[in-house]
Amino acid sequence: MELESALNRLGDEADQAVADPEHRRDLLGRILFGLYNILLLAAAPVVLAILFGKKRCRSGLVQRMGWLPHGLAEECRDGQTIWVHAVSMGEATAVVPLVKALKRRYPQDRIFVSTVTETGRETVLRRLGEEARHVYFPLDFSFSVRRALDTVRPRAFICVETELWPNFLRAVAARGIPAVLVNGRLSTDSFQGYLRLAPFFRRVLSAFSLCSMQTDRDVERIVRLGADPRRVARTGNLKFDQIVVDAASSITSRRAELGIRPHEDIFLAGSTHPGEEDAVLACYARVLKACPGLVLIIAPRHIERADEVMASAKAHGLAVFLRTALGGHQPSEGPRVIVLDTRGELASLYPESTVVFVGGSLVPVGGHSPLEPAACGKTVVFGPHMDHFAEVAEGLVSLGGGRQIANADELPAVMTALLEDRSRLETMGKAAREFVRANQGAVARTEALIAQVLQE
């Protein structure tokens, strides 16, 4: 009888779906949601094996399964917890000023910031200290999600930059917990991929009380995916509001630690990927003819590749040093490459650089943020692949604070021209800083909207 009843209900829904397009989309969304969970369970052994096999993931595996530290359930029983999720280092860095603002507004609340990666965890511990507590985000299995939510019992859930986990968001909505998306963005590739499964993502996005997006383009895209337009707002990019390192306070110590003399210039290539280091090294070798007192610092996006970058520098016939191997050692003056194999140090070197290249942009990665060097008043050079920061890149270029090149072949000529014209370099740096200042305020706007959601 139960089977017959279920089949009848399914038949009724199918008939209604034929007559009602809205119901058809809803039914398709439910089917895709069920398929998502079937595929997730099928992949579970592989996912767990990968996580257990990676040493850096193993320490957080228990938490990823939903078992959070002992004692948290009792501590969170009062319901005064705000849960912020930032997948990795970039998202964790972006949300720091917002977390600080929320802590000032709600001092009685404890704030948990979850990440997926170890670099994200390190960022939370380093940048937020006692203001927030780190936990690993649970894998999106229903049982893991349920266990984690039973422990934390948040009164609000905030996720950063379109980090969508369907089962977690569905569980949050089922418990009546307001969910807010902050600093939301949708790259072209992500949007086109999501659009193919629009009924599924429409169901996922229905969990949000508010979607706070970076740009008008992001607003349009998330509405097209099915977000309620009444719950979508453009608030700008939180990364414009990041605290900038004071160059005057750090320049002496940083240069001494790196063995760089006061009269030497710094060409800083940040967050580089495979295929970019060779282009930067070839560029450096050519630029040295015009600027012999130039030191190249390369910060690979993944520091595990430091030895690979070292080998590339040696293949170009350049003297090369690992940052961690320098210690108090003072390298001989002259052309040399320093490979940054430390985490969290790149931002503090931007104020001291002469010119900056932003990686992930000569190869189709989507680019990394040019905002930190721009905020320090540095001229920023980047390649054609800046889709993740398209509006930022366009703004910097249009206001004269940045230079976008079409390919690696253009890099040497552009860098040489900039280093030979210091007046232009200074003017572009000022324009970059003013561009950042003119676009600040996203933290205040986002905080006000979150407060409104919590009040409602």
Report, as residue numbers or ranges, the catalytic residues: 91
Q: Which CATH architecture has domain 11-30+54-236+443-455?
A: 3-Layer(aba) Sandwich (3.40)
CA distances from 131 to 96, 100, 105, 110, 153 (A): 10, 7, 12, 8, 19
DSSP string, 146-157: HHHHHHH--SEE
CA distances from 373 to 123, 326, 352 (A): 18, 24, 10
Fold of domain 247-438: Rossmann fold (3.40.50)
Compute CA 360 distance to the chain's CA centroid, rounded to the nearest angstrom: 13
End-to-end CA distance of the chain: 44
pTM as predicted: 0.83
Predicted local distance difference test score (pLDDT) of residue 256:
81
pLDDT (tens digit, 0 to 9) for every residue of the chain, 456 residues total?
444 554 455 455 544 544 556 767 788 878 888 898 899 889 888 888 877 776 666 678 889 999 998 889 999 999 999 999 999 888 999 999 999 999 999 999 999 999 998 889 999 999 998 899 999 999 999 999 999 999 999 999 999 998 899 999 999 999 999 999 999 999 888 999 999 999 999 999 999 999 999 999 999 999 999 999 999 999 999 999 986 544 444 455 678 888 898 899 999 999 999 999 999 999 999 999 999 999 999 999 999 999 999 999 999 999 999 999 886 666 778 899 999 999 888 988 999 999 999 999 999 999 999 999 999 999 999 999 999 899 999 999 999 999 999 999 999 999 999 999 999 999 999 999 999 999 999 999 999 999 999 998
Burial of 248 (0-12, 13-18, 19+ CB in 10 A): exposed
Compute CA 254 distance to the chain's CA centroid, rounded to the nearest angstrom: 26
Query: Which distant-in-sequence residues (6+ apart) come within 8 Å of 445 by Cβ?
Result: 212, 233, 235, 236
Q: Which SS3 state, helix, strand or coil, does residue 210 take? A: strand
Predicted local distance difference test score (pLDDT) of residue 248:
43
Handedness of CA 178, 179, 184, 188 (dihedral sign): negative
Predicted local distance difference test score (pLDDT) of residue 58:
67
Question: Rounded CA gap, 85 and 235, in Å?
Answer: 18
Cβ–Cβ < 8 Å for 183, 238: yes
Predicted local distance difference test score (pLDDT) of residue 3:
45
Q: What are the domain boundaries of the chain?
A: 11-30+54-236+443-455, 247-438
Compute CA 401 distance to the chain's CA centroid, rounded to the nearest angstrom: 22
Predicted local distance difference test score (pLDDT) of residue 232:
98
Q: Do domains 11-30+54-236+443-455 and 247-438 have the same CATH topology?
A: yes
